[in-house]
Amino acid sequence: MAFAITSNAIPLPIAAVPVVEVDAFRRDVLTAIVAGGRLLLLIGLPGDGRATRLLAAIADDARGAIAVCSTDVTDAYPALTPDCPSAHYFEREIAEQYGIEPEGHPWLKPVRFPLGGPTIGEADFYSVAGSEIHEVAVGPVHAGVIEPGHFRFNCHGERVIHLEISLGYQHRGVERALRGGPDRRSLYLAETVAGDTTAGHATAYCQLFEGLAERECSARANALRVIALELERIANHIGDLGALAGDVGFLPAASYCGRLRGDVLNLTAELNGSRLGRGWIRPGGIARDIGSDELRELKRRLSDAGRNMRNAVDLLWKSSSVRARFENTGVLRHEAAADLGIVGPAARASGIDRDTRRDLPAALYRARHPTITVGDNGDVFARALQRWREIEHSLGFLADVLDDPGSGTTASAIPSLAPDAVILSLVEGWRGEIVHLAVTDAAGHFAHYKILDPSFRNWFALAFAMRGQPIMDFPLCNKSFNLSYCGHDL
């Protein structure tokens, strides 16, 4: 099989990526997936002349390797989706961005909006017919202070037969704006891919940058990045547990968790000046070192916060009325989660043992990573419990990191980037695996930049989890995934 093998944040010369015929490409990719690989991404790149280059990356989680191959297509090619369901969303995106038809794709419709086609929100919505069927349309303007997205429920009474999700309202051309970089804006664009995953996307961008320059950060800088990432994970998870409680009207946990999220954000702000960690992580290191007094204080405060979180979350697990709402709601079975190729805590709650920190680690995670556990049921309860376990593991892991934060300079200059290279940078953000891919041109500038927020791969899982559910449980299911709209729309 014709693959170029690389790993997280290791650049490949673009010439080393094999370009094969479409049939061979299709056969190779499917063979690799049958052999236990996982479709990491499948994207289109501008090719030679009229052709579009399809590039597939397949992760071998057991070996920590990423296999890359490509092919040139024009107009149409036989779709991968019928044999590899996790390609379905990627192929829809390729079709809308490059006008190439994946032949045999079971359900080809735009991910955001097609080139020259109708605008956002105007799509050929799937609808169920029948005299007792009704459609409920929600959004893009919502009652709460959340991002815009359109949801269309085909319902029979209170039961949802199918949910259509239509996104794209937050499209702002991030990937296009990153082309031609890196420049002074690039880091800030990466940080704002999804505001709640600032540290995640900033780390992915910096790892990519440093990988292309073939520089490594000091152990100290890597440890501080891990602190930023894990604090972000804890803050978001505890906030979401509170929001889950709020959605079922369970006020005590909702109030306490909301406050505790604020505590963790404030800790982040004390370390770097921004509650979301903006501007902390930089190519070459980190903007601000932490003194040993501060580290000790951080450890103490985290241990306090951990105790408070345990008390607050115990209210959730101990309340039978809450468990009655969480259990068996929005079940995403293991097979469905595996087929859809979803990532992050949502995947682990469905029993998929997958975590970038362990499987495809970079930087500090190569040396050590938190305990990784998986759930089994795939319902709202499993996802909530998974979030809580990850908080606990992150707290324990942070305590270790704070005991031994390494040494070295926290900021180093980065020379120019490798020309004509392709690189994949993966980070386990709080929502799941973040992938940044860059292709550089002869001058070492980004010729192409592709960002995969975990939301991109998980949105469809939400639609899947809603099948047969009471429509009233949608907000609860939605919150248990808590996906990003802007991270999807880019």
Q: How far is the CB of 322 from another protein (least distance, A)?
A: 5
Q: Considering just the CA atoms, what is the radius of gyration of the chain in Å?
A: 22
Q: How far is the CB of 382 from another protein (least distance, A)?
A: 17
Query: Is residue 156 within the footprint of another protein (CB under 8 A)?
Result: no
Yes or no: say if 58 and 39 are a contact pair by the CB < 8 Å rule. Answer: yes
End-to-end CA distance of the chain: 34
Of 27-35, 395-403, 452-460, 464-472, which segment contacts another protein by CB under 8 A? 464-472
Q: 2: how many CB neighbours lie within 10 A of its CB?
A: 15
- Please list every residue from 46 through 75 that binds another protein, using CB under 8 A: none
Considering only residues 62, 141, 143, 442, which one is a binding residue for another protein as defined by CB under 8 A?
Answer: 143
Q: How far is the CB of 323 from another protein (least distance, A)?
A: 9
CB contact burial 249-267 (16+ within 10 A = b; e otherwise): ebeebbebbbebbebbbeb
- Rounded-to-integer distance, Cα 32 and Cα 16, Å: 19
- Rounded-to-integer distance, Cα 185 and Cα 168, Å: 23
Considering only residues 165, 338, 372, 471, which one is a binding residue for another protein as defined by CB under 8 A?
Answer: 471
Residue closer to another protein, measured from CB, 28 or 247: 247
Letter for the amino acid at 163? L
Of 74-82, 112-120, 124-132, 254-262, which segment contacts another protein by CB under 8 A? 254-262
- Please list every residue from 312 through 331 that binds another protein, using CB under 8 A: 319, 321-322, 324-325
Yes or no: say if 4 and 12 are a contact pair by the CB < 8 Å rule. Answer: yes
Residue closer to another protein, measured from CB, 199 or 257: 257
Considering only residues 248, 414, 423, 465, which one is a binding residue for another protein as defined by CB under 8 A?
Answer: 248
Tokens of 95: 């079709």
Residue closer to another protein, measured from CB, 209 or 250: 250
CB contact burial 25-55 (16+ within 10 A = b; e otherwise): bbebbbebbeeebbbbbbbbbebeeebbbbb
Yes or no: say if 74 and 59 are a contact pair by the CB < 8 Å rule. Answer: no
Residue closer to another protein, measured from CB, 44 or 139: 139
Measured CA to CA in angstroms, residue 395 lies from 240, 294, 313, 324, 347 at distances of 17, 17, 15, 28, 21
Draw the binding track, 354-393, toward another protein (x: CB under 8 A; -: no contact).
----------------------------------------
Yes or no: say if 154 and 161 are a contact pair by the CB < 8 Å rule. Answer: yes
User: How many residues make contact with another protein (CB under 8 A)?
Assistant: 31
Cβ within 8 Å of residue 264, ≥6 positions away? 231, 234, 235, 238, 305
Q: How far is the CB of 245 from another protein (least distance, A)?
A: 7
Residue closer to another protein, measured from CB, 319 or 412: 319
Considering only residues 23, 135, 314, 404, which one is a binding residue for another protein as defined by CB under 8 A?
Answer: 135
CB contact burial 102-120 (16+ within 10 A = b; e otherwise): beebeebebbbbbeeeeeb
Q: How far is the CB of 131 from another protein (least distance, A)?
A: 15
Considering only residues 224, 245, 257, 398, which one is a binding residue for another protein as defined by CB under 8 A?
Answer: 245
Tokens of 110: 């735009």
Residue closer to another protein, measured from CB, 245 or 286: 245
Query: Is residue 138 within the footprint of another protein (CB under 8 A)?
Result: yes
- Please list every residue from 95 through 134 that binds another protein, using CB under 8 A: 134
Residue closer to another protein, measured from CB, 30 or 138: 138
Q: Which residues bind another protein (CB under 8 A)?
A: 134-138, 143-144, 157-158, 245, 247-252, 254-256, 259, 319, 321-322, 324-325, 470-475
